[in-house]
Amino acid sequence: MSDAYRVDLHVHSKFSPDSRLSLEEIADRLAPAGLVGVAVSDHNSLESLGALPELRRRHPSSVFVPAVEVSTAEGHLLAYGLEELPPLRRPLAETVDWVRGHGGVSVLAHPLRWAHGAGRRALETARVDGVEALNGHNGGIANAKAELVGAHRRLALTGGSDAHSLLEIGRAFTRVQGDSPSVEEVLGALRHGRTDAGGRSIGPLERVRLAIATAGRRAARGFRPI
């Protein structure tokens, strides 16, 4: 993809129950990770929105896309460009319609993950704008299947690190077709399928380490579901 730049469309901050990253830490990590922008997509929270104007002032060359990872009845949904939190744990189709009705963009998050993924049927039929084709916490097979179905449906293909720690940021990313990086350009590219996914999936040893870290985070929050 020519005239493209990289954004990580799936990063968690301290406003998620399983991350401690500050927004400033995330912003400082973008350039070293080869990124132009990021979507801080916290679990069921838009608390980061209030800090975005100051982040943009302090980092004028970076793009900060408003985002949230919403828990639906079927699995997790990434929503971009919203100013209001969608209703939680509602049917996926209802949530997708709500996001569209409020001017947002919807992308299935890690759809084939055994936990929190919306599943194969949703991947094949949900009226979303895009599919997370490369999630940095997913294995290669799940990512490849998601990319194949998303490409067949001609949906926007995205990549996101699903980072909960600093060095994970940029592990997976979205290439956005355009030459004027901005929130509006990123959202427009997602709506019109002018994106693709890059980066790498998680390997077997990394998966074991991630499982241990995830178990620790679940225990720390009292095993409350996200």
What is the reported pLDDT for 47? 97
User: To the nearest whole number, what is the mean pLDDT of the chain?
Assistant: 94
pTM: 0.92
Q: Note whether residue 226 is domain-resident.
A: no
36 close to 173: Cβ distance less than 8 angstroms: no
The total number of structural domains in the chain stands at 1
Residue pLDDT, tens place only, 150-191: 999 999 999 999 999 999 999 999 999 999 999 999 999 999
Close Cβ partners of 206 (under 8 Å, ≥ 6 residues apart): none
* Domain span including residue 118: 4-220
pLDDT tens-digit series, residues 101-116: 999 999 999 999 998 9
Q: Does residue 76 form part of some domain?
A: yes
pLDDT digits (tens, 9 = 90+) for 39-77: 999 999 999 999 999 999 999 999 999 999 999 999 999
Q: With respect to residue 144, please indicate whether it lies within any of the assigned structural domains.
A: yes
Does residue 225 fall inside a structural domain?
Answer: no
Specify the CATH number for the domain of residue 146. Answer: 3.20.20.140
Evaluate whether residue 169 is within a structural domain.
yes
**Does some domain include residue 109?**
yes
Q: How many CA atoms lie within 13 A of 123 on its CB side?
A: 24
The distance of Cα 19 from the centroid of its chain, to the nearest Å, equals: 14
Contacts of 69 (CB under 8 A, 6+ apart): 10, 12, 16, 41, 42, 43, 44, 76, 77, 78, 79, 109
Q: Kindly state whether residue 150 falls inside one of the protein's structural domains.
A: yes
Integer Cα distance of 90 and 55 in angstroms = 32
- How far is the C-alpha of 195 from the C-alpha of 65, rounded, in Å? 15
Q: Indicate whether 175 belongs to any domain.
A: yes
Whole-angstrom Cα distance, residue 184 to residue 120? Answer: 30
